[in-house]
Amino acid sequence: MRQVDLVFVVCTYGSHEDLLNFIDSVNELNAKSAIIVANSFCSEETRDVIRKHSEERGCDFLDLPNKGYGHSLNEGIEYARKNYEFKYLAITNADILVKKFDLNIEDRACVFAPEVITKTGKKQNPFYIFQYRKTFLFARWAKNHFLKIFKYSVMVKAKIHRVLFNLFYVKGTYRKIYAAHGCFIVFNEKALELLGRPFEDDIFLYCEENFLGHKLKRMGIPLYYTSRVSVRHMEDGSSAFYKHKINAEMEKSVAKYYDLLEKTKK
């Protein structure tokens, strides 16, 4: 098995230009790293282009069926664990530029949410500081009773908490949170030993963060926000390639998360 410090599992769906920029940003870290391109099938043309770019840049390429974001990430993680020894593994969108990677927790199982900054300067982490179980369930009730104004209550609450959190956050520290933005999440090797396939294979798109946060909470594996890892999110670089009805997939994923919260205690 090849020994590296960092493994990046990047999920692609036709986004070959984003991929090249991502690879360049990883190379600029000057770290002992490997990149695994987990490509969900879009078309033969895009698959061949992404395969070519991956092989030319020294990345491992996985040609996967289009079963969703979580499935592709799980397959990439399984491949990494079979072929590499590593300290940290990051799952990532293709439309990410990695700016800093300076973690130092390896002695216990942990997952990390980095500083994620968009092109407009918006901070996307922490995604959810708390579980917001009661607020989620209230939002479902409101939606079912045609009180649309209240169905966004979780989003509003989370944004207020995120703004306050970032105002008072001390740079470089580790702060425990519930869920990380799904564009970039870091696992140490010990966490993956416990988690196996961290993501839900039957969730095609959306809510991956929520399901992972719930799993981590139930297993007692801490998720820390830290600015010791920082990335730039160019945002939705590959979403235009999806032929599926995005809103329909979101509705299905959110409904499954509501069901999960109703079936489990805090």
Give the relative orientation of helices 16-27 and 44-56 as an angle to the nearest 10 degrees. 20
Instruction: Quickly state the pLDDT bin for 236 (edges 50, 70, 90).
Output: low
Residue 63's contacts (CB-CB under 8 Å, 6 or more residues apart) are: 39, 41, 47, 51
Q: Which pLDDT tens digit goes with each residue over 135-185?
A: 888 877 777 777 666 667 888 999 999 999 999 999 999 999 999 999 999
Of the listed ranges 125-129, 223-227, 244-248, the one predicted with least confidence: 244-248
Angle CA(55)–CA(56)–CA(59) in degrees, nearest 5?
45
The CATH number of whichever domain residue 41 belongs to comes to: 3.90.550.10
Average pLDDT over residues 177-195: 96
Instruction: Quickly state the pLDDT bin for 240 (edges 50, 70, 90).
Output: very low
Q: Which domain holds residue 158?
A: 2-263
Q: Which pLDDT tens digit goes with each residue over 208-219?
A: 999 999 999 999
What's the sign of the alpha-carbon dihedral 52, 53, 56, 60? negative
Examine residue 126 and say whether the peptide bond preceding it is cis (omega within 30 degrees of 0). yes
Question: Do 178 and 225 touch, CB atoms closer than 8 A?
Answer: no
241 has a pLDDT exceeding 50: no
Strand 184-188, strand 111-118: pairing: antiparallel
242 has a pLDDT exceeding 80: no
Cα–Cα distance for residue pair 139/106, rounded to 1 Å? 38
Average pLDDT over residues 80-85: 96
Q: What is the DSSP letter of 264?
A: S
Average pLDDT over residues 198-209: 84
Cα–Cα distance for residue pair 106/102, rounded to 1 Å? 12
H/E segment holding residue 69: helix 69-83
What's the sign of the alpha-carbon dihedral 43, 44, 46, 50? positive
- pLDDT score, position 238: 46
**How many structural domains are present in the chain?**
1
- 179, 185, 151, 158: which is closest to 69 by C-alpha? 185
Number of H helices, E strands in the chain: 8, 11
- pLDDT score, position 246: 65
- pLDDT score, position 260: 81
Average pLDDT over residues 7-29: 91
